[in-house]
Amino acid sequence: MSGRVTRWLAVQLLAALCAGCGANLDRSLAPEAYHTPVAETPLSKKYELRLINSQGEHFEYFIREPRRATRPLPAVFILAGVETGRDSLDLIDDRDDLLLLSMNYPHGEAMALTGFGLLTAPFALRRMASETLEGGVLAIDYLSKRPDVDQERIILLGVSVGSVLITSLAAEDRRADAVVLIYGGGDLGGLARTNLREKPWWVPDWIIGPAVRTFLGEFEPLAHVEKIAPRYFLMVSSRQDEMFPPSSALALYGRARDPKKLIWYETGHLDLFDRQLIRGLTRDVVTDLRATGYLH
């Protein structure tokens, strides 16, 4: 088969898969909420949380809240790595001065970018991203209706892949008061090429950028980060990050508007189960948010 025919077929496949895909951020009704107790400590209680949108679709979360709160507290909505909704809360030291809410990605299997799964991965990733954004809006709906949440201190926190969608969510939903990205960046096409170095032989280099722009262009952080202002924007990045290289972080930070701040680390890409690193990151983020007034 000639190179011209191969390219034409690839473009047709992209167009076919993309047809009919789109984000559906329905805010017409408040989500139904169901809590299931998971664990309890002297400081906090942890629950599984299920929110149901107006179409009857279920979204899964985990929440950790103080056992006793004498005043409305800041709340942090977290998007971290795939299948880390429950674990991401456990990695943060127990505390009683804020409420933490994390989300499990819908269709997390879309992140298995291996073998012939790469053919349908763009479609699956687009679906996952769209539904995650809807789940993020539901999470903010839920937090904005809790009387124990300080409505001027709702913080969005995105880690790694979650940073991409948190940026889109912050641009879409103005109810968040501050945005924190940890080990993230912009330029999805460049990031895809960086992270698909071990791609199968049958995936041509030239198709990666156009495929990412076709399927995921609406989630490009570089296109959304300016909309975060005038809310506070904090980035924590690493000069040694192999997944989100410094050039990607700097491109995103440069596009952001004030007020903003960038903190550099000197590690590889974030290991969510490196407790020492997580504690250091948490300490720096909490210190900065307290200094800027977003945490008590």
Looking at residue 77, what is its pLDDT? Answer: 97
Looking at residue 54, what is its pLDDT? Answer: 82
Q: Report domain extents, the chain.
A: 3-291
Looking at residue 8, what is its pLDDT? Answer: 35
Residues in the chain: 296
| Rounded distance between C-alpha atoms, residue 213 and residue 219, angstroms | 9
What is the amino acid identity at position 243? M
Looking at residue 273, what is its pLDDT? Answer: 73
Instruction: Report, as ranges of residue numbers, the positions in the chain whose pLDDT lies below 70.
Output: 1-30, 81-86, 107-121, 195-209, 211-212
Q: Are 120 and 107 in contact (CB under 8 A)?
A: no
* Local structure of 84: helix, strand or coil: coil
Q: Are 232 and 179 in contact (CB under 8 A)?
A: yes
Structure confidence by residue, pLDDT tens digits, 17-72: 343 444 444 454 567 999 999 999 999 999 999 999 888 889 999 999 999 888 99
| Rounded distance between C-alpha atoms, residue 196 and residue 278, angstroms | 26
Contacts of the segment 140-143: beta carbons below 8 A, 24+ positions apart: 140/77, 140/169, 140/173, 140/175, 140/176, 141/27, 141/30, 141/31, 142/31, 142/33, 142/49, 142/51, 142/101, 143/75, 143/77, 143/99, 143/101
Instruction: Find all residues with CB under 8 Å of 126, minimum gap 6, and list them.
Output: 18, 21, 215, 216
Structure tokens at 183: 């080990």
CATH code for the domain defined by 3-291: 3.40.50.1820
Looking at residue 88, what is its pLDDT? Answer: 81
The C-alpha angle 199, 205, 210, rounded to 5 degrees, equals 110
